[in-house]
Amino acid sequence: MIEEILPDLFRIKIPLPKNPLKYLNSYVIKGPERNMIIDTGLNREECLEAMRNGLRELQVDLAKTDIFITHLHADHFGLVSKLVTDGTKTYFNRPDSEIIESWGGWEPMVEYAGLMGFPRGELQNALNSHPGFKFRSDWVPELSILGDNDTVTVGNYIFRCIETPGHTRGHTCLYEPSKKIFVAGDHILNDITPNIQCWSDQENPLKDYLTSLDKVVSLEVDLVLPGHRRLFKNYKGRIEELKEHHRQRIEETLEIVTAGSKSGYQVASEMTWDITYKSWDEFPLAQKWFAMGEAISHLRYLEEKDIISRKVESETVLYFLNQK
């Protein structure tokens, strides 16, 4: 499905089969000399077919097209290897590119998940069902690195890069001040809340995310182009809703830990999730993985605030409330 949003700016809905996100919004900007695609979809046939059909309908020549990727996740980055040509510039951010450069495999994340209480007997199956593992890019093209306040010009559009870490370390949005549009990636979504996961004791992604929301709230934005679901106009109001959501999440996490020492996995199992399954036991493994990553991000936030602490029992980290 193709939608013209503004002159020479289009959306292609890239399906994400059996994924609660439903589809990725890939944006295509047509220019007289070069075009640009923003985000691509998973590396799977359904995504490639939708992308090719959309580009064909728009009469976009990949040989004259560059690609901007908002962040590292496979539903945005995975298809890039199928789209690049010899002349393609693939724009990306430095922090996420450093993850690629230092990539040592999935084992550290799997080990960390086990330490946080994910059942060790289910870890390999959880990894095998993870879309980032199953549908990642075949290879990584040469990346053209852009930083905060760098600009990308395509036709009549001059986009300013805004680094918004949180959803990933280097997540980057695009802002077009003359058109007052904000290409949000997964930083600000309307129908769902961006998943803020933590998989390292050296990071505090929820703190980064809340700081990034404050960083962009003052921008003059008439239309938000998110990575998933509907386009929307209530920019500042939605930012306040997201901040309130995480305030309530922090309170909920604290209440769970106050009732007794818990692992990240146990905290996730007791949190409230907007999902169709009746109980935690019915959650698919991949959804349990994402839920635990989100729980850990809130635990890390509280830990760095010195509100909770941790101990290790039976090779599992347990969080508990600090005594005042």
CA distances from 106 to 76, 90, 130, 235, 309 (A): 19, 24, 11, 36, 27
Determine the pLDDT at residue 278.
86
Give the residues of the chain that fall short of pLDDT 50.
none
Q: How many CB atoms lie within 10 A of CB 167?
A: 25
Grouping H, G, I as helix, E, B as strand and the rest as coil, residue 247 is helix
CATH number where 126 lies: 3.60.15.10
Q: How far apart are CA 40 and CA 38, in angstroms?
A: 7
**Helical segments of the chain, H only:** 45-57, 74-77, 80-83, 94-101, 107-115, 123-128, 131-134, 205-216, 235-258, 264-270, 285-304
Q: How many residues does the chain have?
A: 324
Contacts of 311 by beta carbon, 8 Å cutoff, 6+ apart? 261, 317, 318, 320
User: Pairing state of beta strands 223-226 and 308-313?
Assistant: unpaired
Q: How many CB atoms lie within 10 A of CB 99?
A: 12
Number of structural domains (the chain) is: 1
Determine the pLDDT at residue 244.
98
Determine the pLDDT at residue 168.
98
Determine the pLDDT at residue 274.
87
Give the burial class of 2: count Cβ atoms within 10 A of its Cβ; 0-12 exposed, 13-18 middle, 19 or more buried.
middle
DSSP 102-135: T---SHHHHHHHHHTT--GGGHHHHHHT-HHHHT
CA distances from 22 to 176, 219, 309 (A): 27, 29, 37
Determine the pLDDT at residue 132.
83
Residues of the domain holding 302: 2-321
Give the burial class of 301: count Cβ atoms within 10 A of its Cβ; 0-12 exposed, 13-18 middle, 19 or more buried.
buried
Which residue has 């946080």 as its token pair? 116
Determine the pLDDT at residue 227.
98
User: What is the tens place of the pLDDT at every residue in 14-41?
Assistant: 999 988 899 999 999 999 999 999 999 9
Determine the pLDDT at residue 245.
97
Count Cα neighbours of 45 within 13 Å in the Cβ-side half-sphere.
Answer: 0
Task: Name the pTM for this structure.
Answer: 0.96
**92: phi then psi, degrees, rounded to nearest 5:** -155, 175
Determine the pLDDT at residue 184.
98
**100: phi then psi, degrees, rounded to nearest 5:** -60, -45
